[in-house]
Amino acid sequence: MPSIKDKIKKMGFSPKKSLGQNFLINPIIIQKIINSVAELKPSLIMEVGPGLGALTNHFIPNHRKKGELQKFSSPAEGANPPDGYISLNPPLYVLEKDAFLCQYWRKKGVNVWEGDVLNLKGFIYMNLKNSPSTNIYRSGQEKALFRDSLSWEDKKKGSKKVNQMGIEEVSWPSLLLPGSVLIGNLPYQIASRLMVQCCPGPDKIKALVFMFQKEVAQRILASPGSKNYGLLSVLSQCFWNGHLLIEASTSDFYPRPKVAGQVLVFYKKPHSIPNSEAFLAFVKLCFSHRRKFLLSQLKTIKEKSQIRDIFDKMNLSSSIRAEELFPGQFVSLFKEIIRKNKSEKK
């Protein structure tokens, strides 16, 4: 069986350090992730950074049993499911920034959204949905045209603009179905930002299965009072129920990264946070100077005496720090401040 080095050489491709391209090669970890996604029974799978297909090849919709749901996209050329593999039904989208890998997966009949996942905006080829064998060459001029043609309001609304060449500019959340699962061996440099972005939404995502840098994963799962507890811990635990699936050493990737990783699984958690975006900003403020007393931190948004009244109502010490509060207490504190603001306006 050809090695990953041989495959990369044959493709004429070089992993880009700037994009954090460290490809997962350990079959045990790969199978563990596949099984975890299968148990989630997703309506749609969206993979961030498919790379060379360690996960992707297992989720292409033609890998199915006879009589299962019809294919969403055409089969990948030459791709065969591994022995004993039980295939999945749902449609698959891959989110990729690398233009070379975008074209690689398009040629295999996979639905590709090309763009920066953190910026929401990107584009897909309309005719790939029904005729993936069509080979489309996208020039740099075309890329610039469609990158600049979507306004911020359009992006926020998830609206679509279709041009005559069959390219559709669209935000990736608008491609989701209710019950979608977002997966990925994430580039370490975007992992924490994407996690924060996914906390308030999109609502159609019911679960996440992500590979994080080990240090980031530990911060996400940290408990109050620990040195790793902070913004990521509170946000992720307010919006998701998460657990560790498996660890990955540096030798489980090619090229080898400098640090190990951990795969975390998250399930969407019901919450009653009134304004998710405002809550995110509130928690950021609370941890902006983590060694300061929280009472002093919050005086920038409310009179200190008013914050003290709220603390008294919640039985919080005036000397408490953000790192000592449980995620649920952040939610309660946020709601009390909102309630106070509303009562003052009456």
* Three-state SS sequence of 25-82: CCHHHHHHHHHHHHHHCCCCEEEECCCCCCCHHHHCCCCCCCCCCCCCCCCCCCCCCC
Number of domains composing the chain: 2
* Three-class DSSP category at 135: coil
44 with 169, same domain: the answer is yes
226 with 114, same domain: the answer is yes
Contact 179, 40 (CB under 8 A): no
pLDDT in tens, 220-272: 999 999 999 999 999 999 999 999 999 999 999 999 999 999 999 999 998 88
Identify which of 247, 208, 215 has the alpha carbon closest to the alpha carbon of residue 230.
215
pTM recorded for the entire structure: 0.82
Distance spanning both ends of the chain, measured CA to CA: 72
More reliable by pLDDT, 135 or 301: 301
Last residue of a domain, one of 235, 268, 301: 268
Contact 181, 42 (CB under 8 A): yes
**What's residue 323's pLDDT?**
96
**What's residue 2's pLDDT?**
65
Half-sphere exposure of 344 (CA within 13 A, CB side): 9
Domain containing 284 equals: 276-345
Stretch 106-118: mean pLDDT: 92
Last residue of a domain, one of 218, 234, 268: 268
Strands (E) located in the chain: 23-24, 45-48, 92-96, 111-115, 121-125, 161-162, 167-171, 180-185, 205-213, 240-248, 253-254, 261-268
155 with 220, same domain: the answer is yes
Alpha-carbon distance of 202 to 102, in angstroms, equals 24
190 with 328, same domain: the answer is no
**What's residue 70's pLDDT?**
30
Contact 239, 212 (CB under 8 A): no
Identify which of 74, 174, 64 has the alpha carbon closest to the alpha carbon of residue 129.
74
pLDDT in tens, 89-99: 689 999 999 99
203 with 286, same domain: the answer is no
190 with 100, same domain: the answer is yes
pLDDT in tens, 22-70: 999 999 999 999 999 999 999 999 999 999 999 999 998 764 433 333 3
**What's residue 79's pLDDT?**
36
User: Residue 11 has which token pair?
Assistant: 């493709």
pLDDT band at 76 (very low <50, low <70, confident <90, very high): very low
More reliable by pLDDT, 75 or 101: 101
CA distances from 244 to 4, 63, 135, 142 (A): 27, 28, 41, 42
Alpha-carbon distance of 51 to 59, in angstroms, equals 14
296 with 245, same domain: the answer is no
State percent of the chain over pLDDT 90.
Answer: 60
> From the CA atom positions of the chain, what is the Rg in Å?
22
pLDDT band at 166 (very low <50, low <70, confident <90, very high): low
Bridge partners of 241, per DSSP, are: 267
More reliable by pLDDT, 139 or 298: 298
**What's residue 81's pLDDT?**
40
Last residue of a domain, one of 268, 300, 319: 268
185 with 307, same domain: the answer is no
Does the structure show a pLDDT above 80 at 193? yes
Q: At what angle do helices 304-313 and 327-345 cross, to 10 degrees?
A: 120
**What's residue 129's pLDDT?**
41
Instruction: Indicate the DSSP class of residue 251.
Output: G
User: Hunting for tokens 């090669």 — which residue is that?
Assistant: 25
CATH number for the domain including 300? 1.10.8.100
Average per-residue pLDDT for the chain? 82
280 with 172, same domain: the answer is no
pLDDT in tens, 281-326: 999 999 999 889 999 999 888 888 999 999 999 999 999 999 999 9
**What's residue 262's pLDDT?**
98
User: Residue 58 has which token pair?
Assistant: 């297992």
251 with 301, same domain: the answer is no
Cβ-in-10-Å burial (0-12, 13-18, 19+) of 1 comes to exposed
Instruction: Indicate the DSSP class of residue 258.
Output: S
CATH number for the domain including 9? 3.40.50.150
More reliable by pLDDT, 78 or 143: 143
128 with 254, same domain: the answer is yes
256 with 280, same domain: the answer is no
pLDDT band at 149 (very low <50, low <70, confident <90, very high): very low
**What's residue 72's pLDDT?**
35
